Amino acid sequence: MLSKLIKTLAAATVLSFGVGVAAHAESVLRIRAVGDIQQMDPLLSTNYPMRDMSYLLWDTLFAMDANFDVKPQMVDTYSVSADGKVYDFTLRSGLIFHDGAPVTSADVIASVNRWMGKDSLGQEIAKRLDKIEATGATSFRITLKEPFAQLLNGLGRMTAYPLFIMPERIAKTPIGEKLPALIGSGPFKLVEWQPGVKFVVEKFKGYVPRSEPPSNLAGGKIAKVDRIERITIPDDTSAVNALLAGEIDFVTEIPYDQLPIVEADKNFAVAPKPLLGRSLQVVLNHTQPPFNDIKVRQAVQLALNQQDFMTTLLGDRKDLYKVCAAIFMCDAPYETDVNSDRYMKPDPEKAKALLKEAGYNGTPITFLHPTDQQFQRDMGTVLVQALRKAGFTVDDRQIDLATMFSRRNNKGTPAEGGWNMFLTAFGGDAMMDPLTNPYVTGACDKAFVGWPCDEELQARWKAFLLAGDQAARKAAAIKLQERSNEIVTFIPMGQHYGVAGWSKSVSGIIDSPLQLYWNIEKKQ
């Protein structure tokens, strides 16, 4: 079945890298992840399928462990001056790229410079950068104009745009131009890529892992299989059937309605993956009536019930969701319930009273409601019913998902193709950190769609950015949630978990907010 599918898809253009395709690899891990990989530049998109594969090819200077603390990865030793402005780094010995060239400080400097031109935290570092210079073939120094405690967190960025180290000649490619080669120094190297069909990597024998045990993205990245084939199977049912037939070993997300089939088969294991799951969000347009009125936005908080959303999505599978007060995710470092009563204790009658107090006159809410995706279709129906019950007039604009993603960028009135409200979801890896959570900058036209504009929120975001230690960051994050919930930058509607399934011949899967494939073993 699977081989037939691949032959059908193989009309796509084949891009091959090198000649070492392992036709006789000792062990091959075949995975099916959601989505396809159409381009491979980790600074061009935050696309999760590409990012997860990028971590196999490229390594990072630092990495976050299971406690979300930043640990050295390619870096061996480092020191910080007493005034917090000068950072000296030395790379681990024996680091080489897939083409056999040694990793040097020149490669690092070029990669850092390219990254600072794209990543938001990288740009904050660039504002404070005096210079970055080589102090030896495998050592370098970063000198800042002022102390900035987020520097190491930036070098070990887990999501958004991670700082991957590339050869200097490749790292000098302007962002937006195609990378001339996909050469890294990670535990696997790319050997075959057929967009729409498969993405294949092989164990890089020149990789020297760290000696520490693996912990999230930190520690030893040990390639325990010889080859990983990421196979594109567009249809969810076909993917599950391929897993059950033994044609693939690992499916990153089993459709909820097919979970009982996989769970009933003793040859397979299932578990919520990745760590933290996803957060469901209701997004409001602050620039258009009636949501330019804070009281009307707060009435929406009172009108919606997380439990209703989660039950509609997952029924009685309480193990796959939780109602959650934290805008930075439950079970994450910045979890808090501060100022969450309006959406954690919903009350349609209080919502009606607040609407009356605000002088709401029945202005229609244009809700962008995709109907070609079950998640959006079902959740959107729950939302529309709840709003109408609380006294809102709702223009339930039923469209397709692609139209929603296009239309939500329109800043005009609903009559001009704009909008008032939509639903979306982000992974916990993005939502857990105020510097990657898209909703809490208060940056007006530069903010995420919905464009919340609030000087106080901007000041609190900056306080988090400049906090000197984790305790100070936690305190700043609490104040961020307090203000974000007060002005209603978005409304969290529950935390839910995808479920991965894999053959019991597979072991060693690392708990992480990302999909990681090193350390995995497969019995023959």
Q: What is the DSSP string of 403-439?
A: HHHHHTT--S-GGGT--SEEEEEEEHHHHTSTTT-TT
Residues in the chain with pLDDT values less than 70: 1-25
Do the beta carbons of residue 401 and residue 376 sit within 8 Å? yes
Write down the pTM of the prediction.
Answer: 0.89
pLDDT digits (tens, 9 = 90+) for 327-371: 999 999 999 999 999 999 999 999 999 999 999 999 999 999 999
The pLDDT score that the predictor gives to residue 411 is 95
Nearest CA to 308 out of 255, 397, 385, 374 is that of 385
The pLDDT score that the predictor gives to residue 7 is 43
The pLDDT score that the predictor gives to residue 34 is 85
Q: Which residue has the tokens 């912990």?
A: 215
Which tokens hold the place of 379? 């959740």
Domain architecture of the chain: domains with CATH: 2-57+186-252+501-522 (3.40.190.10), 62-171 (3.90.76.10), 278-496 (3.10.105.10)
The pLDDT score that the predictor gives to residue 373 is 86
The pLDDT score that the predictor gives to residue 231 is 96
Do the beta carbons of residue 510 and residue 274 sit within 8 Å? no
Which tokens hold the place of 340? 């969450």
